[in-house]
């Protein structure tokens, strides 16, 4: 079991989230009058790094921000949240931006412009060392796939566990699949990866040794090649905004696994993190603390 707190490194995207709230999502070509607007740092990588810190990890962020005002704000938020940004790159030009629309039921539509995230290519010796010194590496797919592969292979070489949150969905290169210890996907991502019309956990296990399928209000499904096959129900909460629920889940899962929890219990705890997140509007600002996660976990075990 890893010493507490676990050391988590996140290699991924950092964006500025521009969030508009309205009664419903607009149809193509339609304008809908909004209820409110929030601008907050986000991006799956940054969100998961902050989520990991709030859940109890020591966490470093690897990625790239722009040289614009958004980049300054993103880095300041990461630093204020306790994320180690010593190896976060600054790339000349625009930072990544996500334009997010949220309706009153908490459903959302998102457009992401990668900006500086696209420049995060290759790994330096310092970045490779950070990965090798950590307990868990978390990657997503909002950065160049070659960089995801390099990070996962560096982790594998250093004995660091690899969690891949395969979002947004894209083809997984064989060399990446070979380095992944735990795959986290939602239902649409699972369908995209396997080509099956329904989420195919068995098909995913043909690629990687462990899988978590997140199913929103239906909870999560954990399975592995050793025979585990567990459906873990979701926590019941009032849903306000689902934008960062998956990031809260993945960050908490990395912490729980890094602490040495059994993975079924780790998924149950991560479910509580996702549920705690959807009670608030926004992305990084909605990510729950460890106390909030523990409270919901205790109510649902």
Rounded to an integer, what distance in angstroms lies between the CA atom of residue 43 and that of residue 117? 10
The total number of residues shown for the chain amounts to 301
Q: How many CB atoms lie within 10 A of CB 147?
A: 23
Rg (CA), the chain: 18
Q: Which residues fall within 8 angstroms of residue 214, CB to CB, at 6 or more apart?
A: 184, 185, 186, 187, 220, 246, 249, 274
Rounded to an integer, what distance in angstroms lies between the CA atom of residue 131 and that of residue 8? 8
Quote the tokens at residue 48: 């998961």
For 267-289, give the DSSP string: HHHHHHHHHHHTTSSSSGGGPPP
Quote the tokens at residue 108: 């959302």
**By C-alpha distance, which of 226, 236, 234, 246 is closest to 287?**
246
Rounded to an integer, what distance in angstroms lies between the CA atom of residue 93 and that of residue 153? 29
- For the annotated catalytic residues, the residue numbers are 247
Q: Which residues fall within 8 angstroms of residue 121, CB to CB, at 6 or more apart?
A: 144, 146, 147
Phi, psi of 90 (to 5 degrees): -115, 125
Please check whether residue 19 is in contact with residue 283, taking contact to mean a CB–CB distance below 8 angstroms. yes
Please check whether residue 280 is in contact with residue 286, taking contact to mean a CB–CB distance below 8 angstroms. yes
Give the N- to C-terminal CA distance of the chain in Å, as an integer. Answer: 23
Q: Which residues fall within 8 angstroms of residue 115, CB to CB, at 6 or more apart?
A: 15, 66, 93, 94, 95, 96, 97
């Amino acid at each position: 079991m890893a010493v507490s707190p676990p050391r988590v490194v996140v290699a991924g995207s950092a964006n500025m989230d521009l969030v508009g709230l309205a009664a419903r999502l607009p149809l193509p070509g339609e304008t809908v009058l909004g209820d409110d607007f929030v601008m907050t740092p986000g991006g799956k990588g940054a969100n998961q790094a902050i989520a990991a810190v709030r859940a109890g990890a020591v966490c470093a962020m690897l990625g790239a921000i722009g040289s614009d005002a958004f980049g300054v704000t993103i880095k300041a938020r990461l630093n204020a949240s306790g994320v180690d940004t010593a190896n976060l790159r600054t790339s000349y030009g625009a930072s990544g931006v996500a334009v997010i629309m949220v309706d009153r039921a908490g459903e959302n539509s998102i457009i992401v412009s990668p900006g500086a995230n696209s420049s995060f290519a290759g790994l330096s010796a310092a970045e490779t060392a950070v990965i090798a010194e950590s307990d868990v590496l978390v990657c997503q797919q909002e950065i160049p796939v070659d960089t995801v592969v390099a990070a996962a292979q560096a982790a594998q070489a250093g004995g660091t566990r690899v969690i891949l949150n395969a979002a947004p969905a894209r083809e997984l290169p064989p060399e990446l699949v070979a380095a992944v210890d735990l795959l986290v996907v939602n239902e649409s991502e699972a369908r995209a990866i396997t080509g099956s019309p329904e989420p195919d956990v068995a098909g995913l296990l043909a690629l990687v040794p462990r899988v978590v399928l997140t199913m929103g209000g239906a909870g999560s499904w954990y399975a592995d090649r050793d025979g585990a096959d567990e459906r873990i129900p979701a926590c019941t909460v009032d849903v306000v905004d689902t934008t960062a629920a998956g990031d809260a889940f993945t960050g908490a899962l990395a912490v729980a696994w890094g602490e040495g929890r059994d993975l079924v219990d780790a998924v149950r705890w991560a479910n509580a993190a996702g549920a705690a997140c959807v009670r608030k509007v926004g992305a990084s600002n909605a990510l729950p603390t460890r106390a909030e996660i523990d409270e919901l976990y205790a109510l649902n075990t």
